[in-house]
Amino acid sequence: MRKLLFFSNNKNKIIEIKKIFNKFNLELLSLNDLNISEEPEESGKTFEENAKIKSDYGFNKTGISCFADDSGICIESLNWKPGVLSKRFLNNFKSNEACFESIIKSTKKHSKQNAYFKTSISLTAKENHNIVFNGKIDGKISEQAKGKFGFGYDPVFIPKNYNKTLAELSANEKNEISHRSIAVTKLINFLIN
């Protein structure tokens, strides 16, 4: 199988995606493997646009088929935001815990618990040609942050039909159901077919 570059410097995402790829015997490179630290500005208005910006950048820089993801949480009590600004929203608080408290307070104030995670993956295998794969998982905001696994908003998100947050699930359990694994599985099925 030819090499494939995953355009990310997020260690947690790289570990999560490599675990999914290992099952399929595909060789995955990360930016770290190629000593690339610079990333383009994510100026897109949608997850798809941001993923394309990154996969095009990686492909143009290395000549290696490249995929990138953009993911985020959309919360009903925040008018389905922060969405594509999820990382910036989290970084605006002095700690993740302060952010989670703010989200939980908003959820209770508006009596709206619904939320979803979305991932868009863009694959660039030739210039100016992207194939996009989406994954989405519905759920709700928990009444308190719980769990030590996962990263980002995982401690406050309870997937539909579950009574635990994503951060309370093991990496394997999360990879069975997560928005990212849904999108990555679509990408892998495309690559092996």
Q: Where are the domains of the chain?
A: 4-192
- Tell me the per-residue pLDDT of 142-178, one tens digit each, with 9 for 90 and over: 999 999 988 899 999 999 999 999 999 998 898 889 9
pTM of the model: 0.89
Annotated active-site residue in 56, 69, 70, 154: 70
Smallest CA-to-CA distance from 127 within 40, 58, 54, 60 is with: 60
The predicted pLDDT at position 176 comes to 87
Work out the mean pLDDT of the chain and round it to a whole number: 92
86: left (phi over 0), alpha (psi -120 to 50) or beta: alpha
Stretch 115-128: mean pLDDT: 95
48-52: long-range contacts (C-beta < 8 A, 24 or more apart)? 48/120, 48/122, 48/132, 48/134, 50/84, 50/120, 51/120, 51/121, 51/122, 51/132, 52/122, 52/124, 52/130, 52/132
Residue 154 is among the residues annotated as catalytic for this protein: no
- Please name the CATH architecture into which domain 4-192 falls: Alpha-Beta Complex (3.90)
Burial grade of 148 (CB within 10 A; 0-12, 13-18, 19 or more): exposed
Q: What is the phi/psi pair of residue 137, to 5°? A: -135, 125
| pLDDT the model gives residue 29 | 92
* Sequence letter at residue 157: F
Q: How far apart are CA 29 and CA 81, in angstroms?
A: 32
Distance CA 71, CA 121 (A): 9
Instruction: Name the percent of the chain lying above pLDDT 90.
Output: 73
